[in-house]
């Protein structure tokens, strides 16, 4: 074992899942951004956490609305995820140019992403400042699965690619 720079060691964490965080402004404009830093935070109640840079537009929207959606993009959403990660919702619409399609949520105002492997409707449970990021912890108030969505998008460090997901029957819930 050798001593390494932190950044070099952290490159070993790839591949990682990508999530898309959907947020909504008070005027109804919808914003989407990809995140790699996300996780289940509790089983009872069902909580999901995402880490978002403190200066990002998504941070403002979640703090103002008190809700967000976490969507697991399918492999077919790679170009849309890249677009949303390289453009700011502060300066314009991301939904139209990215080609993403929205569908109404059942419990919150923020919409879901059509074609995602799953969508989690989250009401803000708490937020924790964490260096240059804020960790948003949302209580999952509704969950949606698209069994026709296909493979899930992953980040391999330099590229995004799909990953095969084991069929639901292969693991226990």
pLDDT digits (tens, 9 = 90+) for 3-16: 989 888 877 777 78
CATH number at residue 134: 2.30.110.10
In a domain, 2, yes or no: no
- Structurally, the chain folds into a number of domains equal to 1
| Cα dihedral sign, 35-41-46-52 | negative
In a domain, 1, yes or no: no
pLDDT digits (tens, 9 = 90+) for 130-141: 999 999 999 999
In a domain, 9, yes or no: no
Cβ-based neighbour number of residue 167 at 10 Å? 8
Total-model pTM: 0.89
- Domain with 157 in it: 16-165
């Amino acid at each position: 074992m050798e001593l390494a720079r932190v950044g070099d060691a952290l490159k070993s964490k790839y591949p990682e899942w990508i999530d898309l965080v959907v947020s909504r402004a008070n005027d109804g404009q919808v914003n989407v951004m990809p995140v790699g830093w996300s996780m289940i935070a509790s089983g009872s109640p069902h909580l999901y956490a995402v880490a978002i840079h403190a200066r990002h537009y998504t941070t403002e929207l979640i703090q103002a609305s008190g809700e967000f959606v976490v969507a697991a993009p399918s492999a077919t959403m790679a170009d849309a995820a890249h677009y949303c990660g390289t453009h700011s919702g502060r300066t314009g619409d991301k939904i139209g140019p990215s080609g993403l399609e929205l569908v109404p949520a059942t419990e919150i105002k923020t919409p879901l992403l059509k074609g995602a492997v799953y969508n989690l409707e989250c009401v803000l449970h708490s937020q924790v400042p964490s260096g240059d990021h804020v960790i948003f912890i949302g209580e999952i108030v509704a969950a949606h699965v698209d069994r026709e969505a296909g493979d899930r998008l992953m980040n391999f460090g330099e590229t995004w690619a799909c990953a095969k997901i084991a069929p639901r029957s292969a693991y226990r819930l």
